[in-house]
Amino acid sequence: MDRKCYAIIFALTTAFLFTGCGREPSTKSFETPREISYEACSASFSPSLPFLDASFSSDSILGGGRTQAGDFEFEAYLFCDKSLSPKPARLQDVSELPGLGIHTAWLYNGPKQQGDIKELWSFGSRQSVRTGWDGGLTRGSMGTYTGGIRTPAGGFLSSVISGSPLRFIMTIQSETTEVSVIISFEMVPVSDGFAPKNIDVEVSS
């Protein structure tokens, strides 16, 4: 075989190798994991005041605080807990965003009130009764919730993914009083999930 034939074979072989081994540039976009960022969970946040609810404790508080309105004291905190998920063993551990929990507590310090009492929760335009009783309020009456975040039709997770501002309202309603605590925040995408920022706690009465 002469040199001209070798040259043709080499050229064809080289072309085949480059054609067969070449790769298209990746166009796949990065999707933020739909869970709380454990890098955010490892950041330290120390409440400036003791908890109203002495039974609550967490090593991974993301933010929140205590506030007061009239005869009521409130606290609201976001925290991390790996047991919180969309399909846990306990109903209270259901959380639309895995690993993210919310703790709230209220304490009444006023005179005795008669009649029906309701604890209402609101997210967006939806409001529901979390608990209620007909025994009124006395000094020292208290209510707490510690668990996952779940909303009708998964509205919370949809708002997290879309980047919408987030706002939960807890309202104590009696025949003569209505007072609310509001915890508002944002969830921003990071490399290992979503991280909260601008967490704020305020009251409305």
**How do the domains of the chain map onto residue ranges?**
38-204
Tell me the pTM. 0.83
| pLDDT at residue 7 tops 70 | no
**What fold, for 38-204?**
Immunoglobulin-like (2.60.40)
Nearest to 205 by CA among 175, 181, 185: 181
The pair of structure tokens assigned to 195 is 């991280």
| pLDDT at residue 10 tops 50 | no
pLDDT digits (tens, 9 = 90+) for 61-111: 999 999 999 999 999 999 999 999 999 988 889 999 999 999 999 999 999
Q: How far apart are CA 106 and CA 205, in angstroms?
A: 14
What stretch of H or E contains 160?
helix 155-162
pLDDT digits (tens, 9 = 90+) for 29-48: 558 999 999 999 998 788 98
Nearest to 179 by CA among 145, 151, 143: 143
